[in-house]
Amino acid sequence: MGRVLMDITERVAHTTAAQDEALAVVSSIPDAEYAAPSALPSWTVGHVVAHLIGNCEAQARQIEYAARGEAIEVYTGGQEFREAEIQRRAVLAPAQLRAELAAQHERFSAATQGIDESLAIAPVEYRSGTVADVVNGRWMESLVHAVDLGQPQYTWRSWDEPFCRVLIDYVLERLPADRTVRLRATNCDFDITTGTGALVNIEADIADIAGFLSDRGPSLSDEITLGPYPADH
């Protein structure tokens, strides 16, 4: 078994909890460390928090417009605007960053309140997908970038099984198509095989598999090279 079967109410609940987790990590960081390097190249902790704010704002807007039967680009002004906003926010006072992140979490929660299956399948510009994809995307952004904050109390090993399944499903396409890769978790019933060609067996804790495929955890094989992230990551 591999893929996740979950209704939109469950996905929203998980995403709300994920945002709370990310905010808790952000809030635990001393102000003086916001200018320190994060786990992402060339980004400080402040840059990661700035991205979390901007992404939450963009994702909430996707749902707000979809609820009105409309679509709008993910970031007004495109990726250039997104990058400029990250740079602008990254140098704000830590207290302001925390307040803005909390405010955007509230906005996202308001946008997803009472969401039903009909809205879940409404189309959005985000990855040319649906509102359900937006909810999943926000779940992943929250917890993957919580790891990128570089705090020892929160790593890929903090991820629970439902999140690992959703993340693996998203980054699975990074596996090479010309190798048969079997991924089997040693701590749950996760077991899937992709690709064709010579067999590569990877057996590990599901969090380690998710961490490996997302570049946030250990290397689990020297026989394969992961491809790029899915578009619009």
Q: In what order do the strands lie in the sheet with 199-204?
A: 191-194, 180-185, 199-204
- Size of the chain, expressed as the number of residues it contains: 233
Average pLDDT estimate for 86-92: 98
Q: CA-to-CA distance for 141 and 73, rounded, in angstroms?
A: 18
What ranges do the domains of the chain cover? 8-154, 173-213
Kindly tell me if the per-residue pLDDT of 118 is higher than 70. yes
Q: CA-to-CA distance for 173 and 169, rounded, in angstroms?
A: 8
Q: CA-to-CA distance for 187 and 195, rounded, in angstroms?
A: 24
- CA distances 99 to 49, 103, 206, Å, are 11, 6, 34
Tell me, what's the pLDDT at 175?
A: 98
Q: CA-to-CA distance for 163 and 88, rounded, in angstroms?
A: 31
At 188, is the pLDDT very low, low, confident or very high (cuts 50, 70, 90)?
Answer: very high
Tell me, what's the pLDDT at 145?
A: 98
Residues 204-214 have pLDDT tens digits of 999 999 999 99
At 1, is the pLDDT very low, low, confident or very high (cuts 50, 70, 90)?
Answer: very low
Residues 26-41 have pLDDT tens digits of 999 999 999 999 999 9
The alpha helices in the chain, defined as continuous H runs, are 8-28, 45-67, 78-90, 94-112, 117-120, 131-148, 161-171, 206-213
Mapping DSSP to helix (H, G, I), strand (E, B) and coil, where does residue 39 land?
Answer: coil
Residues 62-78 have pLDDT tens digits of 999 999 999 999 998 88
Q: Which CATH number fits domain 8-154: 1.20.1300.10, 1.20.120.450, 3.10.20.30, 3.40.50.150?
A: 1.20.120.450
> Whole-model pTM?
0.94
Tell me, what's the pLDDT at 232?
A: 60
Tell me, what's the pLDDT at 192?
A: 97
Which is nearest to 75 in space by CA: 134, 128, 40, 125? 125
Mean pLDDT of all residues in the chain? 95
